[in-house]
Structure 1
Amino acid sequence: MDRHVPPTHGSRLARLRPRTRRTAGLAAVAAAGLALAAAAPGFAAGDDHPKGATATPIQHLVVIFQENVSFDHYFGTYPTAANTDGTRFVAKPGTPTVNGLTGPLLTANPNTANPQRIPSTTPLTCDQDHGYTAEQKAFDGGLMDAFIQNTDVESCAAPDKSLPGLVMDYYDGNTVTAMWNYAQNYAMSDNSFDTVLGPSTPGALNLISGQTHGGYAVTPAGAKTTDSYAVVSPDANGVGTVINDPDPAFDDCSSTKHNRVVMQGRNVGDLLNAKNVTWGWFQGGFRPTSTVNGTAVCGSQHANVGGAMQTDYNPHHEPFQYYQSTSNPHHLPPSSVAAIGHTDRANHQYDLADFDAALAHGNLPAVSFLKAANYQDGHAGYSDPIDEQHFVVNMINALQKSKDWKSTAVVIAYDDSDGWYDHVMPPIVNASNTSLDALNGAGKCGSANRAPLGGYANRCGYGPRLPLLVVSPYAKSNFVDHTTTDQTSILRFIEDNWSTGRIGDYSFDALAGPLTNMFDFGHRNDRKLLLDPTSGAPLHGDH
């Protein structure tokens, strides 16, 4: 998403959510922060878990971080598919249901349009409005009934499809077949949220640091400046909060037309480096197509399923490039395949091709973040579920065939909801009270008498509900987790599994619920589920 400006049209004031529900939600989040080792007693015999190396048998974590999907948009009718088009999907007997779209939510929705199923023949749709303020207005004080007025975008240019009331609509297992098959055979959550409201960059920053405050604007030449798009609510030194999609300061491929952002503080890469744990961020299109006077040019492109050419690399999807300590401004390649995951000239920032090389050579880092090229990241407006499925399935198939699969966990997560309808009001664990906050009426987010964490404004959260899946030999099978989690639950898993300590400075990691209920660390399932990347169906009848 580029230079997003939230709409100015208002939404009516609405009654607050019952205080008892919000208080209970906060208590549940606080109680959930348990150490991984305590949650995972009795590792299976013969699981090759080296004592002291990790708190669980997971020695390799791969986070596939996709774009712009709400839970209801992909899983609203799980596990029931229409089976009128696309790949047929029939759930296993005993499949648990989810908190999804049922009954009146489908036929008498409180919004001004009912959710409609999007057929598999319509994978490309308009990008929805997913601004920080727009999403708060769509929530309408917890009534979840103002999406059409605030985040709906139903008219766009071909090959993207325009549909009335589009923001309300959803796919089922006939289109997002692979995701539903992973849910059938591994673990998923129906109670996981965007850490804060808003678009891609805040979600990416929260994934690695739990912190969207601490940024300041610089010009493309690197001079400190002021810019209300780059950061909001700045202090006297210009340090404020990121709620939009400004490009990172430490990246040659960032826009030369707009100001950029420098983030201060620590991220998980800094924590892993301090512990000598191998790690990397791998992103499509990161490898330069050329250099001009030593400056990298990121010019690679691919066509999406509709034939539209898309540039592969998106700088504001690369969170480590906002931090000088973990950046690779010139997109330098690793010094060797053996060096991938270690500190060298690439500084842990790589192209996806480097992940493929590391995996092929048996050099999988302990922690890997995978970011698809734009056309495969699932973001409406330039990507789609079909191209996304190819990426996710090919990556997981390759991991399942590797020597390290027995100690690997793949987490499939998303950076934001794109503004797509989801019917669940999230628990508000952090308040904000500025002119940009509109969740419970003009100027409020959460309780008006609660101070924001650290005094940092414009981190209203949690935001919309997002899909979250765990694919691993240690994942529970055909399991739906209801634990309250958010994007920083992934960060917390890393911190606890590799004993790095917390980020600090009021990072959301201190509040994050654990992922451990999605695992059974006492039992390893060595059966593999290989899927067809085109259909999303199991290969060789493996289901």
Structure 2
Amino acid sequence: MSVRNKRKIPLVAALGALVLAAATVPAVAQGQGGASATTTPIKHLVVIFQENVSFDHYFATYPNAANPGGEPRFAAAAGTPTVNGLNTPLAAPNNPNSAQPFRLGRNQAQTCDQDHSYTNEQKAVNSGLMDKVVETVGRGAGTCADYGHGMGLVMGYYDGNTVTGLWNYAQHFAMSDNSFNTTFGPSSPGAVNLISGQTHGFSADGNAVPAASGTMIGDPQPAGDKCNSRDSSTVTDPKNKNIGDLLNAKGVSWGWFQGGFADCTATHKDVGGVSSVDYIPHHEPFQFYKSTQNLQHVRPASVSEVGHNGPANHQYDLTDFWSSVDHGSMPAVSYLKAAAYQDGHAGYSTPLDEQQFVVDTINKLQKTKDWKDTAVVIAYDDSDGWYDHQVGPIVNQSNDPAHDGLTDGKTCGTNPARVAGGYQDRCGYGPRLPLLVVSPYAKSNFVDHTTTDQASVLKFVEDNWKTGPIGNYSFDEKAGSLNNLFDFSKHGKSSTLFLDPASGQPTKN
């Protein structure tokens, strides 16, 4: 088998494939009270949910970095495993796309945003050939830097001299090279799949939520959010639930913490000088659900409320997370969303700004009393359209000729039995995305090849806190397990790695 087809599932076969979780469940670990009992030693999960990066965009050549002068050096540890990246047959000049993959330097951190729409991402796959990326999702020309590559910018990737922090976390902890966007498409569906695995059952909103299917394929904003700036949507299917609903039913503390949530007008500039508003409404998935909304951005009544029922309804500013940590009451499950300038989204953020946020966050967490039983999952909402060579298995079909285009320009499979619940416009899995686990219980310098997706994070929460499944044909039914990224036999042995937020290189505590 050629390197290009390494671990690739033939598209025709993949259209009928289902990826099932296959993990052993460790003995129950008792937390503080029965409501906090967990099935693994992990009692605190922190999900750092970043923006718009494909796996190849950050890890194409891992663990080999170019190491030019003037950039932070990266040298892989002996025995570091390789990944399914842009190996020789897919490297220039042999890539089948009209532009060849190329390295972006640290001085090219500010780039253009690419096309990452539901339909065009499917067309880029071109029936599994992966050779129409430039023509379908490349979008280099415009007001931001494309460094002379035009639409071919979409083929660019960084290495360990720019995304140094993430490469060092991969060295010391665990990462996956086989994790995918649950469906094709942009930020909002990715965020909703993270917390519910179900993008069907939303009110119509033009092209973002087609009236014919009621499935979110674009970026609507949550209806009624006081920070909204455009058309919006909300959950209409009464069967739809999210993980917050399930955690509430079990009495488990949790929260979504987003930069700028407390002040809709707050802005920052990234390292390239691009200014953006901190809070982006459609990046906040719990706001789409009546049961977990905080549409007026009400502040928690006290630090003791954070993670529990109260006026804020589990939706908080990022500063509230650190208040709870300082108070010694970090919620059991926390989702952290950076202010826009630090979320990694091309156009208004950069890998260097993202590194600052991720490293600062993990450095602080490693100094807390709770680090011994904490797991940090670093995950992403979509690929931004950036090139990734690996076609994912199609575990759920859709045959909407108005919006699908995976195999013949108008479908994502033709078998109605493979359209879960009959809900159209949920073609997936989509593009491959980075996924890392940083924890005392993470395997060290380990690359997992288990097939997973965004709903695998949801499944981990469901299994660890015994909430039961979402239902209504959520992708949690198909989600692969994250458990192979962990070694639960470590018995809480201390494992830390402190990095410099600017360089991403190891430093003293």
> SS of the counterpart of 2:122?
helix
Residue 253 of structure 1: aligned partner: 227
With over 3 angstroms needed to count, the CA separation of the structure-2 counterparts of 1:18 and 1:488, relative to structure 1, is closer
Alpha-carbon distance in structure 1 between the residues aligned to 2:485 and 2:335: 19
Q: Is the 8 A contact 1:532 1:539 kept in 2?
A: yes
- Note the 1:205-244 alignment, pairs <5 A: 205-217=192-204, 227-234=205-212, 240-244=214-218
Alignment-mate amino acid for residue 171 of structure 1: Y
With over 3 angstroms needed to count, the CA separation of the structure-2 counterparts of 1:69 and 1:18, relative to structure 1, is closer
- Note the 1:271-290 alignment, pairs <5 A: 271-288=246-263
> SS of the counterpart of 1:90?
coil
Match of 2:493 among 525, 538, 541: 525
Q: 1:419-442 CA distances to partner (integer Å, 9 max, x unpaired)?
A: 000000100000000121110003
With over 3 angstroms needed to count, the CA separation of the structure-2 counterparts of 1:405 and 1:113, relative to structure 1, is same
> SS of the counterpart of 1:142?
coil
CA-CA distance at 1:39 after TM superposition: 3.4
CA-CA distance at 1:156 after TM superposition: 2.4
With over 3 angstroms needed to count, the CA separation of the structure-2 counterparts of 1:173 and 1:371, relative to structure 1, is same
Alignment-mate amino acid for residue 17 of structure 1: P
- Note the 1:305-320 alignment, pairs <5 A: 305-320=271-286
Q: Is the 8 A contact 1:250 1:323 kept in 2?
A: no
Residue 536 of structure 1: aligned partner: 504
> SS of the counterpart of 1:416?
coil
Alignment-mate amino acid for residue 123 of structure 2: K
- Structure 2 gaps of 5+ residues are 1-8
> SS of the counterpart of 1:513?
coil
So what's the TM-score if we normalise by structure 1? Answer: 0.88
Match of 1:267 among 232, 239, 242: 242
Does 2:390 correspond to 1:415? no
Q: Is the 8 A contact 2:28 2:38 kept in 1?
A: no
Does 2:339 correspond to 1:373? yes
Alpha-carbon distance in structure 2 between the residues aligned to 1:539 and 1:390: 14
Alpha-carbon distance in structure 1 between the residues aligned to 2:505 and 2:90: 29
Match of 2:54 among 70, 76, 84: 70
CA-CA distance at 1:161 after TM superposition: 5.0
> SS of the counterpart of 1:386?
helix
Does 2:47 correspond to 1:88? no
Alignment-mate amino acid for residue 95 of structure 1: T
- Structure 1 gaps of 5+ residues are 1-15, 218-226, 289-297
Alpha-carbon distance in structure 2 between the residues aligned to 1:200 and 1:53: 32
CA-CA distance at 1:230 after TM superposition: 3.7
Residue 4 of structure 2: aligned partner: none
Alpha-carbon distance in structure 2 between the residues aligned to 1:440 and 1:103: 27
Residue 97 of structure 1: aligned partner: 82
Match of 1:61 among 45, 56, 62: 45
CA-CA distance at 1:398 after TM superposition: 0.7
Alpha-carbon distance in structure 2 between the residues aligned to 1:231 and 1:308: 30
With over 3 angstroms needed to count, the CA separation of the structure-2 counterparts of 1:513 and 1:49, relative to structure 1, is farther
Residue 160 of structure 2: aligned partner: 173
Q: Is the 8 A contact 2:299 2:311 kept in 1?
A: yes
Alpha-carbon distance in structure 1 between the residues aligned to 2:148 and 2:468: 47
Does 2:385 correspond to 1:385? no
Alpha-carbon distance in structure 2 between the residues aligned to 1:115 and 1:40: 42
With over 3 angstroms needed to count, the CA separation of the structure-2 counterparts of 1:249 and 1:20, relative to structure 1, is closer
Alignment-mate amino acid for residue 481 of structure 2: P
Alpha-carbon distance in structure 1 between the residues aligned to 2:14 and 2:189: 26
Alpha-carbon distance in structure 2 between the residues aligned to 1:247 and 1:162: 34
With over 3 angstroms needed to count, the CA separation of the structure-2 counterparts of 1:246 and 1:162, relative to structure 1, is farther
Alpha-carbon distance in structure 2 between the residues aligned to 1:33 and 1:273: 27
Q: 1:230-269 CA distances to partner (integer Å, 9 max, x unpaired)?
A: 412536xxxx1000001001411112x4243345421000
CA-CA distance at 1:307 after TM superposition: 1.4
Alpha-carbon distance in structure 1 between the residues aligned to 2:139 and 2:300: 42
Q: Which stretch of structure 1 is more off in the superposition, 483-492 or 242-251? A: 242-251
With over 3 angstroms needed to count, the CA separation of the structure-2 counterparts of 1:161 and 1:248, relative to structure 1, is farther
Residue 462 of structure 1: aligned partner: 429
Alpha-carbon distance in structure 2 between the residues aligned to 1:468 and 1:310: 26
CA-CA distance at 1:528 after TM superposition: 1.2
Alignment-mate amino acid for residue 70 of structure 1: S
Q: Is the 8 A contact 1:197 1:460 kept in 2?
A: yes
Q: 1:328-363 CA distances to partner (integer Å, 9 max, x unpaired)?
A: 011011110111000100000000010111111111
Alpha-carbon distance in structure 2 between the residues aligned to 1:445 and 1:48: 44
Alignment-mate amino acid for residue 338 of structure 2: A
Q: Is the 8 A contact 2:146 2:153 kept in 1?
A: no
Q: Is the 8 A contact 1:489 1:514 kept in 2?
A: yes
Residue 499 of structure 1: aligned partner: 466
The runs of at least 4 consecutive aligned structure 1 residues that moved more than 6 Å come to 47-52
How high is the sequence identity, in percent, across the aligned residues?
A: 59
Alpha-carbon distance in structure 2 between the residues aligned to 1:249 and 1:396: 33
Alignment-mate amino acid for residue 242 of structure 1: M
Alpha-carbon distance in structure 1 between the residues aligned to 2:172 and 2:484: 15
Q: Is the 8 A contact 1:41 1:522 kept in 2?
A: no
RMSD over aligned Cα atoms = 1.9
Alpha-carbon distance in structure 1 between the residues aligned to 2:27 and 2:471: 27
With over 3 angstroms needed to count, the CA separation of the structure-2 counterparts of 1:449 and 1:210, relative to structure 1, is closer
> SS of the counterpart of 1:347?
coil
With over 3 angstroms needed to count, the CA separation of the structure-2 counterparts of 1:433 and 1:21, relative to structure 1, is closer
Alignment-mate amino acid for residue 349 of structure 1: Q
Residue 138 of structure 1: aligned partner: 124
So what's the TM-score if we normalise by structure 2? Answer: 0.93
Q: Is the 8 A contact 1:40 1:516 kept in 2?
A: no
Q: Is the 8 A contact 1:112 1:148 kept in 2?
A: yes
- Note the 1:419-434 alignment, pairs <5 A: 419-434=385-400
Q: 1:271-313 CA distances to partner (integer Å, 9 max, x unpaired)?
A: 000001000000000003xxxxxxxxx1000011011211000
Residue 6 of structure 1: aligned partner: none
> SS of the counterpart of 1:213?
coil
Alpha-carbon distance in structure 1 between the residues aligned to 2:390 and 2:462: 29
> SS of the counterpart of 1:206?
helix
Alignment-mate amino acid for residue 476 of structure 1: K
Residue 476 of structure 1: aligned partner: 443
Match of 1:487 among 450, 454, 461: 454
Alignment-mate amino acid for residue 149 of structure 2: L
> SS of the counterpart of 2:395?
coil
Q: How many residues align?
A: 493
Alignment-mate amino acid for residue 348 of structure 1: H
Q: Is the 8 A contact 1:152 1:166 kept in 2?
A: yes
With over 3 angstroms needed to count, the CA separation of the structure-2 counterparts of 1:447 and 1:345, relative to structure 1, is same
Alignment-mate amino acid for residue 153 of structure 1: R
Alpha-carbon distance in structure 1 between the residues aligned to 2:171 and 2:210: 42
With over 3 angstroms needed to count, the CA separation of the structure-2 counterparts of 1:271 and 1:416, relative to structure 1, is same
